[in-house]
Amino acid sequence: MSAVQGIGVGERQLGADGRPPRRTGRAGTRRTTPYLLLLPGMAWLAVFFVVPLFTLLSTSTQTRPEGAEIGVYTQTFRFANYVDTLEEYAVVFGRSFFYALIATLLALAISYPLAYAIAFKAGRWRNVLLVLVVAPFFVSFLLRTIAWKQILADDAWVADAMRFLHLIGPQTHIINSAPAVVIGITYNFLPFMILPIYASLERVDPRLIEAAGDLYANGLTALRKVTFPLSLPGVVAGTLLTFIPAAGDYINAALLGNRNTTMVGNVIDARFLKVVDYPTAAVLSVTLMASILVLVAFYIRRAGTEELV
């Protein structure tokens, strides 16, 4: 037996000419190919996503030197920036997460039955319905949000109907209020909730539900004990995909809200683009990002990273 054999896995016998056989590179095993393929895309993300996050971090600890012009800041590692800013905007943060949470729950409540209907009751119309779910989002979301402004206006039919049913008083506004903002946010992120849930439900083998029926479960019990647990990955994905952008949204608050419905996004926008107070904006952004990362970390610990992409 060749002396090579003792060397363990992967070593080959020497060829007839005494030289180790040339390592044949077939598709998928050549060493450099994957790295070359990854390089441009990941480099782009590294430079324009990862680095900016660090830039943000660095900006968050800067301060304006005495007498400097507007917009000029120097790095002073002032971590007290965080304390100051968060103290001032704690309420805004809380409100943002609160609105996002309500919106997410509402979206879940609205989306789950719809996704269920499409997955199980649609038959041949399934693809059509899926297109119809996504279709509204072919219209610019700004225009749709402005449409909500019109729909919920004081003199429009929704307000009139609600007043007629005595659900709201004659003086109450629906528009320019917190509920309007939440309605807007919910609406904006519906497909992000519907589609993952649908994808999950679609994978449920309908024979499992039949089996549940065979084992004496009625419709609701089957839903509770069989269908819903199986669709949980989709629900989790949808929840994350809705809550995270919702927390950072500011369009709905700007168009549909009032002075008291300011969200974190509005403040960051104002601080960055109008008041030119970069450190404060950076602190808020970093904090928002950090809270999101905590959520994502929870998710990863349970599911690993392969499922993410």
Partner 1 sequence: MSTGGQVADRASSGGRDLRLDHVTKRFGGFVAVDDLSLTIPSGSFFALLGPSGCGKTTTLRMVAGLEEPTEGSIHIGDDDVTFAKPYKRPVNTVFQSYALFPHLDIFENVAFGLRRRGAKDVRRQVEEALELVELAAMARRKPAQLSGGQQQRVALARAIVNRPAVLLLDEPLGALDLKLRRQMQVELKRIQTEVGLTFVHVTHDQEEAMTMADTIAVMNQGRVEQQGGPGELYESPATTFAANFLGQSNLIHAAVTGNQGADLLLDVQGHRLAMPVDRRNSGDDDLLIGVRPEKIRLNRADADGGERKPAGQGTDGKQNVLPGGVVTDASFTGVSTQYLVRMPWGQELMVFAQNLGVDGVVPPGTPVDLQWDPAHTFGLDGSADATAGVEHDEGVQPAPVG
Partner 2 sequence: MSATAPAPAPPARPTRAGIATRSSRWLSRNAVRIYAVLAFAYLFVPVVYTFAYSFNDSGKSNLNWRGFTTDKWAAPCAAPDVCPALVNSVKIGLVATAIATVLGTMVAFALARHRFRGRTATNLTIFLPMATPEIVLGASLLALFLNMGVSLGTNTIVIAHVMFCISFVIVTVKARLASLDPRLEQAAMDLYADEMQTFRRITLPLVAPGIMAGALLAFSLSFDDFIITNFNSGDVNTFPKFIWVSSLRGIPAQANVIASAMFFLALAAVVLGQLIVGRRKT
Binding site for partner 1 (CB under 8 A): 5, 9-13, 15-16, 21-22, 24, 26
Cα(116)–Cα(96) distance, rounded to whole angstroms?
A: 29
Q: Nearest distance from residue 19's CB to partner 1, in Å? A: 12
Which residue, 17 or 66, is less far from partner 1 as judged by CB? 17
For 50, residues 6+ apart whose C-beta sits below 8 A from its C-beta are none
What stretch of H or E contains 132? helix 126-134
Q: Nearest distance from residue 24's CB to partner 1, in Å? A: 5
Segment interacting with partner 2 (CB under 8 A) among 10-18, 162-170, 228-236, 277-285: 277-285
Whole-number Cα distances in Å, 212 to 116, 207, 219, 229: 17, 8, 9, 13
Residue 37 burial by Cβ neighbours in a 10 Å radius (0-12, 13-18, 19+): exposed
From candidates 21, 136, 206, 229, binder to partner 2 by CB under 8 A: 136
Cα(88)–Cα(90) distance, rounded to whole angstroms?
A: 6
Q: Residue 203 is encoded by which pair of tokens?
A: 């994978």
> Per rule CB under 8 A, is residue 255 in the interface with partner 2?
yes
290 binds, among partner 2, partner 1, none (CB under 5 to 8 A by kind): none
Q: Nearest distance from residue 31's CB to partner 1, in Å? A: 16
C-beta separation of 234 from 201 below 8 A: yes
In three-state secondary structure terms, 62 is strand
Neighbours of 230 (CB within 10 A): 16
C-beta separation of 181 from 209 below 8 A: no
5 binds, among partner 2, partner 1, none (CB under 5 to 8 A by kind): partner 1
198 binds, among partner 2, partner 1, none (CB under 5 to 8 A by kind): none
133 binds, among partner 1, partner 2, none (CB under 5 to 8 A by kind): partner 2
245 binds, among partner 1, partner 2, none (CB under 5 to 8 A by kind): partner 2
Segment interacting with partner 2 (CB under 8 A) among 6-14, 15-23, 47-55, 87-95: 47-55
Residues pairing with 63 in the sheet: 74
From candidates 44, 79, 164, 298, binder to partner 2 by CB under 8 A: 44
> Per rule CB under 8 A, is residue 10 in the interface with partner 2?
no
